[in-house]
Structure 1
Amino acid sequence: MRGNIVSLIALAAGVILSLLLGWFAVGNYRSARPIAEGNLRGLALSLTSALESIAARDSSLASLAAFRARDIAYISVIDRNGTIVFHSNADLIGSRVTDQRYVTVLGGRGLAENRIRLGTGEEVYEYHAPLHLPGRTLALRLALHPWRADAVIHRARVGMVVLFSLLAAAWTMGVLLYRYARRAQEHRLEMVRRERLAQLGEMGAVLAHEVRNPLSGIKGYAQLLMERSNDDENREFSALIVTEAIRLESLVSDLLAYARPEPGPEGPLQVNAVIDHVLALVDPEARAAGVTIAASLAEGLATRGNEARLEQLILNLAKNGIQAMPDGGTLTVVTRREGKTVEISVADHGHGIAPHDRERIFTPFFTTKARGSGLGLAVCRKIAEAHGGSISVADNPGGGTVFRVTLPLHR
């Protein structure tokens, strides 16, 4: 429980940190373009001031040709008639512009800026500003290379992509590490469980051997006393002793069955033949309890295993199902093929198993019955695992419980 809480806190912290980093990266990228445009505008204002100062000292504008800056794509000065009176390309001086972008600044409506694409395919930042000279006002068209300014946008974009890539890699690595840690923990828990059950089985075997002999003597003497006694009350007490001794013998047998090493899979078995035999064994008990047995068995299902042990597995499940329906009902047994496995399901319509009991239902000595040993389902799990399979429990959609056993399919 504590580990789950720590995991949830770590997950929440990771999600919050990732959202904050993502918000920072996106915000930085979205603010990069206004910053780049601001840098270009500031550079254009500085250059415009310098060019206006040069032009004020030279009305012919010829000295503008000597003005050099690596960010300048070209400089053009246009009069009110649209004639180019100066251009960085001297061949264009005297020609007329074909656009009306310069009109805005000569009309006294402030500055104008935009990005245009030149005939060479290059995109430039174009800035229009009035050029105030003695006795006249001209339009200055200044085209700047946006390389350095756009580098801000590029760096922000690359930073965002790198950050999101790192976040994706970190989450992928985190998920893989979490899955590895979970598997390692499950493996450790399984090893601890098996070691504990092995110790429990050894202890149970010792106790069973020590108890079986004196128990047989107690039962034998009680039976002898019951036969020879002329007192009805003594015979009744003797019968009770015999009944309880038989119950203890059954518990001892269960302990020995659980402690006994499970034989590995032996030869091929027809699953349906094993089930038919078990159902024939429990049919009298089912009839006495008012339970109807319904079987739906798929044909041609075989597995490798020990026939006696698999019969014990199915017998335990069938008896549990019958005992779970004291007022009668239907015990449903189904076999089917699931990929490379054989699935055997045994379903009853009893009261079901509480969700909090399902995790412990296969633990030795855990039982919900008043007089149960708590070893039947533990033995079932041991047999299933010894045959390379598994057993699980779930709610029956029609009410009650369904146990599912999966075994490797033999072809």
Structure 2
Amino acid sequence: MPGFSPTRWHSPGLWFLTAGLLFSALLGGFGLNNYRTARPIAEGTLRGLALTLASTIEALANQDVSLDLLRRVSSPDIAFYSVCDEGGTQVFHTNPDLVGSPVSPNFTVPDFAGYGFRESRITLGTGEEVFEFLTPVHVAGQRLILRLVLHTYQADAVVRRSQAGLTVLGALLAVGWGLGGLVFVYARRASRHRQEMAEQKHLAQLGTLSAVLAHEVRNPLSGIKGYAQLLEEVLVREEDRWFANQVVTEAVRLEELVNDLLAYAQPAAARIESIDLRDVVERVFALLEQRAAEGEVRLVCNPEGWTRVMGDADRMRQMLLNLLLNAVQATPVGGVVSVSAYRQGGRVQLVLRDSGRGIDPADLPRIFEPFFTRSARGSGLGLAICKKIVEEMNGTIEVSSVPGRGSVFTLGLPVAGDGP
């Protein structure tokens, strides 16, 4: 896979991401804090109402020890209330039928030390959750127990609003992040598209210039090579023939460079057809056998995973020959260059692996650029041509490398319709 490049993380994008995370954390913390404080606020509201009602009820009870005046106390927040003695017998109840009955079979007078009241949430037989408030009241020198049971719906409105606010906030954050993600993806895509367009324009200009130079150089170069070959044949002195041979050798190298320039700048149209990938690889291996033997490099072809792919057989051979020749040249004595394949969806992944010196991580992002090379005699066009060929066949090429341990080139090629 391509090496990681810090330039992929543009500082504006990273800044917006950080700002978005901080903003989301602040909003989330604010909403969560509101939700956590909503219940205490509701409890405080109910407690304040209960204390007010208790004070009113105690004052009315002392005005009329028969407790008849207590029936005047009403509020939409009151479910019911009662007054009982120390034994738990109700001496007053908003439901007259319950006067004289015990509060409950297991009722015991609570210890009012400390706050002077006891409060809790209970569930009535109707299923409603209510707020129960117990506090002592003193009537005509006698201590009685006031039991106030309040509806919680209005007081809990703050809790419900907080829950709703938290839900809405979460939904807004989710939508915001979703939209932000889409904008980020489209912005990245647009940026890549602009870069690709600029690169294509640059490569087109480079290709035009290369083609012009190649055509202008080819004819004079052929003449130089021809005269040098003629001199090599007619010269008598061995030293003179050696110099003529050097001219021919360098002319041939320049011819190869010109051919590479033309292959890159004005490639022939690819003839896409179903081809036997295994056959192509074996033919390339046959061409490399002598070179590999000279360097004591072993060529290995994995027998599994092969199938037919869509491509141009001639250009495929050219590409594989270039890649595998590079691998053989980079592999030390006793090393191995292997080729394997496996099916992945609608593609065959062709893996070329060597045990050579590897590629500098700093060079990985640039190795497919035209004219980029670390070789003193290299043109820097070989891998650029390989990339162009594989892309013309609707394929992909990726590279990973560990310095000192070798490199791996992975070609993704479309499977032919009649492939297994």
Is the TM value for this pair above 0.5? yes
Decide which of 60, 74, 91 is 2:80's aligned counterpart.
74
Cα distance, 1:241 vs structure 2: 1.6
Cα distance, 1:100 vs structure 2: 5.9
Cα distance, 1:2 vs structure 2: 9.0
| Secondary structure of 1:138 counterpart | strand
Alignment correspondent of 2:225: 219
Alignment correspondent of 2:282: 276
C-alpha deviations, 1:223-246, integer Å up to 9, x for none?
A: 223333334443333222221111
Alignment correspondent of 1:340: 346
- 1:10-409 map, 5 Å: 10-99=16-105, 101=107, 103-104=109-110, 110-298=116-304, 301-325=307-331, 327-395=333-401, 399-409=405-415
Cα distance, 1:25 vs structure 2: 1.6
Change over 3 Å in CA distance of 1:266–1:119 after alignment to 2? closer
Note if contact 2:361-2:401 (Cα within 8 Å) is conserved in structure 1: no
Note if contact 1:56-1:134 (Cα within 8 Å) is conserved in structure 2: yes
Using structure 1 for the length normalisation, give the TM-score.
0.93
C-alpha deviations, 1:47-104, integer Å up to 9, x for none?
A: 1111122222212111211222111111211123433221111111222333565623
Cα distance, 1:406 vs structure 2: 1.6
Moved more, 130-139 or 200-209: 130-139
Cα distance, 1:107 vs structure 2: 8.8
Cα distance, 1:395 vs structure 2: 2.4
Aligned structure 1 segments of 4 or more residues deviating by more than 6 angstroms: 105-109
Give the AA of the match of 2:151: H
| Secondary structure of 1:351 counterpart | coil
Cα distance, 1:312 vs structure 2: 0.5
| Secondary structure of 1:303 counterpart | strand
C-alpha deviations, 1:329-369, integer Å up to 9, x for none?
A: 22212233222212222222211111111111111111121
Take 1:238 and 1:397, find their aligned partners in 2: how far apart are those partners?
40
Alignment correspondent of 2:4: none
Take 1:271 and 1:396, find their aligned partners in 2: how far apart are those partners?
27
Change over 3 Å in CA distance of 1:343–1:120 after alignment to 2? closer
| Secondary structure of 1:77 counterpart | strand
Identity among equivalent positions (%) equals 49
C-alpha deviations, 1:173-214, integer Å up to 9, x for none?
A: 222322222222222222222222222112111110000001
Change over 3 Å in CA distance of 1:3–1:291 after alignment to 2? closer
Take 1:101 and 1:114, find their aligned partners in 2: how far apart are those partners?
14
Take 2:189 and 2:148, find their aligned partners in 1: how far apart are those partners?
67
Note if contact 2:357-2:405 (Cα within 8 Å) is conserved in structure 1: yes
Cα distance, 1:265 vs structure 2: 4.0
Change over 3 Å in CA distance of 1:328–1:365 after alignment to 2? farther
Give the AA of the match of 1:21: L
| Secondary structure of 2:88 counterpart | coil
Moved more, 210-219 or 133-142: 133-142
Change over 3 Å in CA distance of 1:291–1:91 after alignment to 2? same
Q: Number of residue pairs matched? A: 411
C-alpha deviations, 1:7-31, integer Å up to 9, x for none?
A: 2222222222222222222221111
Note if contact 1:262-1:386 (Cα within 8 Å) is conserved in structure 2: no
Change over 3 Å in CA distance of 1:312–1:272 after alignment to 2? same
Larger RCO (CA within 8 A; separation ≥ 6): 2
Moved more, 74-83 or 312-321: 74-83
Give the AA of the match of 1:84: Q
Moved more, 58-67 or 206-215: 58-67
Cα distance, 1:114 vs structure 2: 1.6
Q: Unaligned 5+ residue runs, structure 2?
A: 1-6
Change over 3 Å in CA distance of 1:328–1:263 after alignment to 2? farther
Note if contact 1:321-1:348 (Cα within 8 Å) is conserved in structure 2: yes
CA-atom RMSD in angstroms: 2.3
Cα distance, 1:287 vs structure 2: 1.7
Give the AA of the match of 2:195: L
